[in-house]
Chain A
Amino acid sequence: MPVVETPVTLTPSDAGLTDAEVHRIRNDFPILGTEINGKPLIYLDSGATSQNPVSVMEAEQEFYEQRNAAVHRGAHTLAVEATDAYEDARTAVARFIGARTSELVWTSNATEGINLVAYAMSNAAAGRGGEAARRFAVGPGENIVVTEMEHHANLIPWQELAARTGAELRFLPVDDDGALRLEDAAGVITPATRLVAFSHASNVLGTINPVDELVRLARSVGALTLLDACQSVPHIPVDVKALDVDFLVFSGHKMLGPTGIGALYGRAELLNAMPPFLTGGSMITTVTMERAEYLPSPNRFEAGTQRISQAVALGAAANYLSETGMGRIEAWETALGARLVEGLEAIDGIRVLGPRAGMPRIGLAAFDVDGVHAHDVGQFLDDRGIAVRVGHHCAQPLHRRLGLTATTRASTYLYTTTDEVDAFLDAAAQVRPFFGAK
């Protein structure tokens, strides 16, 4: 039984989605037809969480109605079918990012994926995993490198790892426009660096970071790399082998999937040598009262009963995106992102963070409205049925660096129309007059 059926028949093409296709796609998302405050919902908060197509919700329901059982244990037919559904989903999601099935570990979300690696590294530092795990150990005199634009999820786990192990946490700074200061990288990433963790696409700036350059620098000093791909995997084609990173994390709920599920990709040889983080049932081979032997990846990192229905639904989401075509989604959203930035920059008193109009960015834009707090901007837009994110977007250090505490962010997805972007821009232009900002 297929995990998902093709929702709409799309013309295969390298060009972006067309208006007509986006309107057909919208029919797969019931929530997009709802009203907010008596106005049609204009959902521009997909960077925080995306909406779900019917096929994803049906995949989860169908699993519970027809195949629900514990996986990887029990020999009855239902348990076999449940295990097949669960593992088929893993294959679908692994293939979606160009990984092998054994290289994709289910996690609750991207945050858990990052914590998994951070705790595995401190377990290695404590001597767990023996000689094979030495490459993951960090300690005094060594360092971990992040960037100044990181989401808190890719910062705090490393702060904690540094505090537990005595390692130093360093960061690659950004310039006044929020771009990474690559010219400083050689001084930050040194032979004492054990891991470089950075975001692929910034959830605030919309920039796509130079993965090639950072991986090259990390590799030249023998450091591991971890890519936070939360804002890239859902929106642009991602191939982990082409990116050549050691680890990569992403969340299901930002890519049309349910909450409670995400994934960690790791190169097979690394995952099989890395000590586990969570331990318990389902991740072992032999257990005595004194010790245990662990399964290879991915099971060695999946202790306890797993998020089975969510995994199945995420598999359906990956299939939906693949069938629509990631290249075409990327092209559509790039056009929306450009429209957002051009429109916002044309409004008096609005400052867009990150790349100027005409520079590469994904389909989102965070901005500051002079004289009006982001919370008030969001409230004004909500009154018109427009959902945006306000606040620091879990990136306080980046906001502080840019001299701001809170901004407003509009983020698009494959179901966002140009009319919605225009309605948002029209409303954004009325914010300062409404609040009497001068």
Chain B
Amino acid sequence: MSTGLEQLYQQIILDHAKARHGSPLQEYLGAGRAGESHQLNPVCGDEITLRAGVAEGNVTSVTWDGAGCAISMASASVLTDLVQGLPRDEVLSLIDAFREVLRSRGRIEADEEVLGDAAAFSGVSRFPARVKCAMLAWVALEESLLAANA
């Protein structure tokens, strides 16, 4: 097996693709407000509906329903683990950092200290056709957080 494929499909990604932390989508019953976003990649039909709860400036909950490739589903699962309990503003910064890595065509290596397991998606940036897959849940969370604040 070539290193390219293994770089893309790291074990942690294959594991999260099956585990799907945060799925299924649930009603937000916590304090504060919730925002929701539906994202669709028309190229491959991957889609996600994600709901985020925000209370006192912190992300208190992320749940989602999704259908799609291993990259998109693993990315949603990793994201869910990463952002629980973090300040909303910090999460928005993480989303920006993740986007920058993915759009870098392999030039920027993800900082594992900052992005945790999501750093495993660095390899995706060398596959431009798959960047949208990895970004799908992150864009959904970004919109959900904006909606929760509206």
Asked if A406 meets B4 with Cβ closer than 8 Å, knowing A376-B70, A436-B18, the reply is no
Asked if A435 meets B44 with Cβ closer than 8 Å, knowing A38-B2, A379-B5, A379-B8, the reply is no
Contacts of B43 in A (CB 8 A): 391
Asked if A37 meets B4 with Cβ closer than 8 Å, knowing A373-B69, A379-B130, the reply is yes
Instruction: Report the Cα distance A375→B68, complex, angstroms.
Output: 8
- Say yes or no for A213: interface residue by CB 8 A criterion: no
The proximity string for A residues 285-327 relative to B, scoring 1 for CB distances below 8 Å and 0 otherwise, is: 0000000000000000000000000000000000000000000
B44/A406 in contact, CB under 8 A? yes
- Tell me the minimal C-beta distance from B75 to chain A in angstroms: 13
- Say yes or no for B133: interface residue by CB 8 A criterion: yes
Minimal Cβ-Cβ distance residue in B for A400: B45
- Say yes or no for B14: interface residue by CB 8 A criterion: yes
The proximity string for B residues 112-138 relative to A, scoring 1 for CB distances below 8 Å and 0 otherwise, is: 000000000000000100100100000
Asked if A376 meets B71 with Cβ closer than 8 Å, knowing A37-B2, A37-B4, A38-B2, the reply is yes
Chain A contributes a number of interface residues (CB within 8 A of B) equal to 20
Q: In the complex, which of the residues A383, A390, A405 contacts B4, with contact meaning CB atoms closer than 8 Å? A: A383
B5/A391 in contact, CB under 8 A? no
Contacts of B44 in A (CB 8 A): 373-375, 390-392, 406
A373/B70 in contact, CB under 8 A? yes
The proximity string for A residues 404-433 relative to B, scoring 1 for CB distances below 8 Å and 0 otherwise, is: 011000000000000000000000000000
Contacts of B108 in A (CB 8 A): none
- Say yes or no for B46: interface residue by CB 8 A criterion: yes
Instruction: Report the Cα distance A398→B46, complex, angstroms.
Output: 17
A379/B45 in contact, CB under 8 A? no
Contacts of B130 in A (CB 8 A): 375, 379
B8/A392 in contact, CB under 8 A? no
B45/A391 in contact, CB under 8 A? yes
A375/B46 in contact, CB under 8 A? yes
Q: Which of B1-24 contact A (CB under 8 A)?
A: 1-2, 4-5, 8-9, 14, 17-18
- Say yes or no for A380: interface residue by CB 8 A criterion: yes
Instruction: Report the Cα distance A38→B5, complex, angstroms.
Output: 13
Instruction: Report the Cα distance A281→B46, complex, angstroms.
Output: 45
B70/A405 in contact, CB under 8 A? no
Asked if A383 meets B68 with Cβ closer than 8 Å, knowing A375-B133, A405-B45, the reply is no
Q: In the complex, which of the residues B2, B4, B46, B70 contacts A435, with contact meaning CB atoms closer than 8 Å? A: B70
- Say yes or no for B67: interface residue by CB 8 A criterion: yes
Instruction: Report the Cα distance A391→B69, complex, angstroms.
Output: 11
Minimal Cβ-Cβ distance residue in A for B45: A405
Q: Which of A383-402 contact B (CB under 8 A)?
A: 383, 390-392, 396, 399
Asked if A376 meets B2 with Cβ closer than 8 Å, knowing A391-B44, A391-B45, A406-B45, the reply is no
Instruction: Report the Cα distance A405→B14, complex, angstroms.
Output: 21
- Tell me the minimal C-beta distance from A52 to chain B in angstroms: 23
- Tell me the minimal C-beta distance from B46 to chain A in angstroms: 7
Instruction: Report the Cα distance A38→B2, complex, angstroms.
Output: 10
B14/A436 in contact, CB under 8 A? yes
Instruction: Report the Cα distance A390→B130, complex, angstroms.
Output: 12
Contacts of B8 in A (CB 8 A): 379
Minimal Cβ-Cβ distance residue in B for A406: B45
- Tell me the minimal C-beta distance from A367 to chain B in angstroms: 16
Minimal Cβ-Cβ distance residue in B for A383: B5
- Tell me the minimal C-beta distance from A213 to chain B in angstroms: 32
A392/B45 in contact, CB under 8 A? yes
Contacts of B69 in A (CB 8 A): 373-376
The proximity string for A residues 180-203 relative to B, scoring 1 for CB distances below 8 Å and 0 otherwise, is: 000000000000000000000000
B14/A383 in contact, CB under 8 A? no
Contacts of A375 in B (CB 8 A): 44, 46, 68-69, 71, 130, 133
Contacts of B68 in A (CB 8 A): 373, 375
Contacts of A392 in B (CB 8 A): 44-45
Instruction: Report the Cα distance A37→B18, complex, angstroms.
Output: 28
B67/A405 in contact, CB under 8 A? yes
Contacts of A38 in B (CB 8 A): 2
Q: Which B residues lie at the A interface, using CB under 8 A?
A: 1-2, 4-5, 8-9, 14, 17-18, 43-46, 67-71, 127, 130, 133
What are 26 contact pairs spanning A and B, CB under 8 A? A37-B2, A38-B2, A373-B44, A373-B68, A373-B70, A375-B44, A375-B71, A376-B9, A376-B69, A376-B70, A376-B71, A379-B127, A383-B1, A383-B5, A391-B43, A391-B44, A391-B45, A392-B45, A396-B45, A406-B44, A406-B45, A434-B1, A434-B9, A435-B9, A435-B14, A436-B18
Q: A379-B127, A391-B44, A435-B70 are in contact. List 7 more A-B contacts (CB 8 A).
A: A38-B2, A374-B44, A376-B9, A376-B71, A379-B5, A379-B8, A391-B43
